[in-house]
Structure 1
Amino acid sequence: WLYATVPPYVNQPLQKCHVSWRIAEYLNMAAAAAAERKHEALRDDQGMSVSEEDQEANEDMPDVHDAAVKIERAKGAYMAYSGLQEKPSKLEIWMWYLYEMCSHFIVTTVVPVVFPLIISEIVSKTDDHDDDQGWGQTPRGIACMLREIKLYDLLTHTSISKNNLNLSAMEWTSISWAIGLILASPLLGLISKQLDHGYNPQLIAGAATTIGSLFCLPVGFIKTPYIFPFYIAAIVASYIVASASHTRQLGLMVRGYTGPTLKLSQFPTRRGVSGWFSVYATAAGGLGSAIFSAFTYHMLRNKKDPYDSLWVVSIFSGLKWLVGMLHVVTQRPVAITNTTSSVPKSYFLSLFKYPYAIASLIVIFMSSFSSTCIFTGGLLFLLGQLCLKPIFFLYFWLIYFIFPSFSMPLLQPLQHVIKADAVRMQLLGFLLALLTSGMGFYYKEKNWQRHHVLLFAAIQSTSAGLLHAFGRVLLLDCTPHGKEGAFSVWHSWVKALGTCTGFAVASAIRGHVSTAFGVSFLAATIGILILIFGNISDVGGAMAAGHLYEDSEKGSPVPGLDTSIIIKEHVYEETA
């Protein structure tokens, strides 16, 4: 709407440039006010005349009469003042999807699966084991090859000693993961300022992605488990920073389609746009994880030297993550109203002024915790208790990661038809998690059939996808415009905290799948109770954040902004 028809009373140069009459009006008002303030200040302080002042102004601003320069300055100032954001191009949207596909597998496959396998291979080189080509039995009496039994023992039993602590490969990974969270914590304040008020916030995502991908390359160079906290911590911290920038970009894209403020009756438009973007990004992330899982299985078929094969997998993960840099290149600069020096140090704590945002963060923690605990506990049970064949784990991974790529886009039109908001979609995700964890807990003494495992893998993957997609949608609904970076860093860090905690709990209670599923069931129940009894709603959060105003009001709280002409037509066709 910034390039709408100009009223006839606007001067000819502005008409030729097709500038909105609102920008022209803003330019005239701002110029008049600035001239008046400067005139009074100079006359009072220096005794300068009006003619002398005008002459000095012309010398300081030789291009002040250039219409194009005036238009560009007014456009930037007005967009920064009103919170307007240019509508993203299709290339920018597709590159945003690409980054999810090239990065989501870091926390679903690389850190929780590949790194524990590499650590276990390092430990196995120092342990004296008998020939592992024979057969043995699992604790349930199921015949199993000694190679699979040995792998489970190396992953879950104490094999690393450090400062009188005996840890397993998975527990060592959990500690390294936690170090990454601690390492990223001091960066939250600095990153939030730069994302919202820095001149080149896209450089943050680029630097974080580059650093994280580079640390994936040398993991097999030094064959000692004690170097892995350094690698994993750097990768986790880099992922948190890059993920925060990625989530912030979603908020900017949604604002580009809907504007900073809407009438209450227009809110379904924002709900549809944000849900559409987040759902398809989640589908892309699942597809990327499936591709990486298939590559990992292919490399592990080389049983002669699995360590080098896993090192190649880690190198591939870094290169794939680096491909996501294309998203950073396509980002466009955003108009800013303040510089980082004028932003208070407590800026990143501004989230705690919004109760809806705090509640949504708690729900995000519970969702990521339950999803990861179910996934990790289930994998350990299938490996150590049921001793399923390696090819079955490939089927399991493919269904778990690919199924949301189909189920999520199919659920999105249903959401639009039944007018379900982000809260209800998260409730659906938690209910599916309750179904999976409840059935796993109830049949903990049974030997699960393979088709049942694959069925619940599809159900749980849909649950994890819904919670991931609509968790960030709800938080962004509670985010005031201009503070997307400050809120996104908290979203990224809290989600990583929940994922790490779920992985650590499932790793610590190895051999007790009932406990893992029971804890996950409890976490999902808490999430449901918070959503229902915490009085959480996307409309309430958007109201508190200033995104909405009542239909009875005549205009936007932003002066000179009428959001009724901001809403773009055919939103779904353009974002498809």
Structure 2
Amino acid sequence: MKQATVEVDGGQEPASSSSAVQGLKIYPPKESSYDDYEGIGEKPSRFEVWGWYLYEFCSYFVQTVIIPVLFPLIISQLQQLHIDPVQEWHINHPGMTCGEKQIQLHSTLTKRTISVSGSHFSSLEWTSIGWATGLVLAIPSLTFISFHLDGILQNLITAAATGVGAFFCLPAGFFKTTKIFIPYIAAIVLASTVATASHTRHLGLMIRAQLSGPINRTQFIKRQGVSSKHSLHATAAGTLGAAIVSSFIYHMLREPPDRDFISLWIVSIFSGLIWLVGVLHAVTSPNRGSPVFNSVSSTFHPCSVFKHPHAVGGLIGVFISSFATMCIFTGGVLFVVGPLCVKSVHLLFFWLVYFLFPLFSMPLLQPFQQLIKADSVKMNLMGFLLSLLSSGFGFYFWNSHWKWGHIMMFGAIQSTGTGLLHAFGRVLVLECAPHGKEGAFSVWYAWMRAAGLCVGFTVAAVVPGHIRTSFGAAFCAAIVGCVVLLFGNVSGVEGAVAAGHVMGDNERGTNGLGLDSKESVSVCLKDETLELNK
């Protein structure tokens, strides 16, 4: 128990129950914000940090490759076209040459061949329905686990969600029926969103453990260095995993047409097994449970995020950035495969540049960030500006014949913007998350990111032949994202102050009593006697 001390005639005297100070009113001791950092464990070891990177490597591709690329391709193999797509292509694109298999693939992806109760959907739109279903199911699930995530069940939740998601990747081609893919995709989206929330919370706890306590504003750059390093390196590892899976998809698409379905099923099994490897991180990492007791019920625990406006602004930025990046990626791939009809190997090069370029650009951005002394908000703005550049380029030159170099440049610029927005979006949210509520903030981050990706994919899927619509929507979204961060007064530093990670101006130089260091005790001259420490 803390004992207050008072200064009397230049000397300090402990205030006890047997002593009383006449004519003085002494304010009760102010609990140090360091107390909130007790019990979070030792500083993260290199093994724990690399394990966290491993999980990003094993899971990043789920909502960036598996759902938007692989599952639409699998579903398209079950569709039958009533009109010869090759003949239709030559009518709509006179003078252009394109491979028969490539035309067939693009047509089965974009034609509305799935009929349900009088409504018609394409393979891409069918994937969007499954994605949206998973997001709806994730709302009650995330609300329930957020309270337990901020306890001691983080590793269990990560392992369980990963196991469920990997399991539903295995039987993707067992039943050759289109309708079965709705629950498949929904289950994978649900599991991936829950696992992302747990994975993000772990980053917040590692950062806090590495800093060991609240810091001054002048030391905030130290926290930025730690969080940026972990998030950027993890993003680079995640894009490497995505490059491996996308290359495997391309390799399997080169199989004979009658084996495409089985070949893509093998990719789904392979992806599920890689995702399952990420369980090693959940099993081996220390359980950094929160010692803070949450008095709020589990139902309203996620609502605590609304008390932090900087976090709300960051979450809006996460949704917009996810929407813009997925809209550009999906629209760009459909544009390359369809209207441009480039050689199939150029599609592989585009995927490799898009997913491998961040492997080199992300680690280089940390010293660049330190050089220009940019916080997470400014780095997010940089990501939005790169998205503006790539989407504006695609929108303006949509009717031009893109050469191989243009496609590679487009992929390199957009991949860097996507990596920046992903890495610093979660950094900004975690800077605003108070101790003991990282889980509540992380579930919001995971859901907003998944929702943005879903909406961006849907917009590009609904208008596959109108690339200007996809790029135009992404361009406008990027502008809105910049406006939110700039004029919404979003600040990582102020958010960290409100969350208790950084000491505010009124907390500098305070002693254990919460008083200014220039005063040993704050008193109010009143005629009363106060007994202390009863």
TM-score range, shorter chain: 0.7 to 0.9
Alpha-carbon distance between aligned partners in 2 of 1:521 and 1:352, rounded to the nearest angstrom: 28
The equivalent position to 1:554 in structure 2, one of 499, 505, 509, is: 509
After alignment, is 211-220 or 137-146 more displaced? 137-146
Question: Which one of 392, 415, 430 corresponds to residue 461 of structure 1?
Answer: 415
Determine the structure 1 residue equivalent to 2:163. 210
C-alpha contact 1:82 1:558 (8 A) present in aligned 2: no
Q: Which amino acid aligns with 1:257?
A: Q
Q: 1:131 to 1:493 in 2, by over 3 A?
A: closer
1:364–1:335 distance in 2 versus 1, CA, 3 Å = closer
Q: Which residue of structure 2 lines up, in the alignment, with residue 297 of structure 1?
A: 250
Q: Partner residue of 2:72? A: 116
Alignment check: 8 A CA contact 1:134 1:145 kept: no
- Asked whether the 8 Å contact 2:37–2:435 carries over to 1, the reply is no
Give 5+ residue unaligned stretches, structure 1: 1-24, 28-77, 561-576
Partner of 1:282: 235
Question: Which of 306, 313, 321 pairs up with 2:260?
Answer: 306
Q: Is 1:354 aligned to residue 308 of structure 2?
A: yes
Post-superposition shift, 1:82?
A: 3.8
Q: Which moved more, 1:143-152 or 1:547-556?
A: 547-556
Q: How does 1:215-234 map to 2 (within 5 A)?
A: 215-234=168-187
The one-letter code matched in structure 2 to 1:378 is G
Contact 1:261 1:556 (8 Å CA) reproduced: no
Alignment of 1:375-386 (within 5 A): 375-386=329-340
**8 Å Cα contact 1:370/1:433 also seen in 2:** yes
For the residues of structure 1 that align with 2:410 and 2:360, how far apart are their CA atoms? 16
Structure 2 residue ranges without an equivalent (≥5): 4-33, 516-534
Take 1:414 and 1:498, find their aligned partners in 2: how far apart are those partners? 28
Structure 1 residues 496-511: aligned runs within 5 Å: 496-511=450-465
Q: Which residue of 1 aligns with 2:490?
A: 536
TM-score relative to the length of structure 2: 0.86
Deviates more, 1:429-438 or 1:294-303: 294-303
Q: Which residue of 2 aligns with 1:15?
A: none
Alpha-carbon offset, residue 129 of structure 1: 6.5
Could you tell me which residue of structure 2 aligns to residue 489 of structure 1? 443
Distance change in 2, residues 1:330/1:395 (3 Å): same
Distance 1:556 1:501, change over 3 A: farther
Distance in 1, matches of 2:173 and 2:215, equals: 53
Distance between the aligned counterparts of 1:299 and 1:109, measured in 2? Answer: 15
Question: 2:219 matched to which residue of 1?
Answer: 266
Change (3 A) 1:138 1:275: farther
| Alpha-carbon distance in 2 for matches of 1:146, 1:299 | 17
1:158-197 correspondence runs (5 A): 158-197=112-151
Match of 2:470 among 503, 509, 516: 516
Cα deviation for residue 345 of structure 1 reads 2.6
Q: Deviations over 1:340-388 (max 9, x none)?
A: 7874531111001111111111111110000000000111111110111
How far has the Cα of 1:262 moved from its partner? 0.9
**Aligned counterpart, 2:358:** 404
Conserved? CA contact 1:254–1:274, under 8 Å: yes
Give, in angstroms, the shift of residue 151 of structure 1.
1.3
* CA shift for structure 1 position 320: 0.5
Contact 1:138 1:385 in 2 (8 A): no
Would you say the 8 A contact 1:138–1:144 is kept in 2?
Answer: no
Deviations 1:285-340 (A, max 9, x none): 01010011111112222124111000000000100000011110122123443667
Measure how far apart 1:128 and its partner are.
Answer: 5.7
Q: 1:140 to 1:177 in 2, by over 3 A?
A: farther
| 2:53 match | 97
Q: Which residue of the partner structure matches residue 243 of structure 1?
A: 196
Aligned to 1:73: none
- Residue 394 of structure 2 is aligned with which of 424, 430, 440? 440
Could you tell me which residue of structure 1 aligns to residue 383 of structure 2? Answer: 429
Please list the CA deviations of residues 80-137 of structure 1 after superposition, one character each: whole Å capped at 9, or x if unmatched.
674644211111100100000110111111101110011010114xx56669799946
Q: Per the alignment, do residues 558 and 437 of structure 1 end up closer, same or farther by CA in structure 2, a change over 3 Å counting?
A: farther
Which residue is equivalent to 2:27? none
Q: Is the 8 A contact 2:36 2:292 kept in 1?
A: no
Counterpart residue identity of residue 318, structure 2:
I
Measured after TM superposition, the shift of residue 146 of structure 1 is 2.5
Q: What's the C-alpha RMSD, in Å, of the aligned pairs?
A: 2.4
TM-score (norm 1): 0.80
Amino acid at match of 1:433: S
Q: How many residues align?
A: 484
In 2, are the aligned partners of 1:155 and 1:169 still within 8 Å (CA)? yes
Question: Could you say if the C-alpha distance between residues 121 and 201 of structure 1 is closer, same or farther in structure 2, counting changes exceeding 3 Å?
Answer: same
Contact 2:153–2:289 (CA<8 Å) still a contact in 1?
A: no
Residue 387 of structure 1 is matched in structure 2 by 341
Partner Cα separation in structure 1 for residue 125 and residue 160 of structure 2: 29
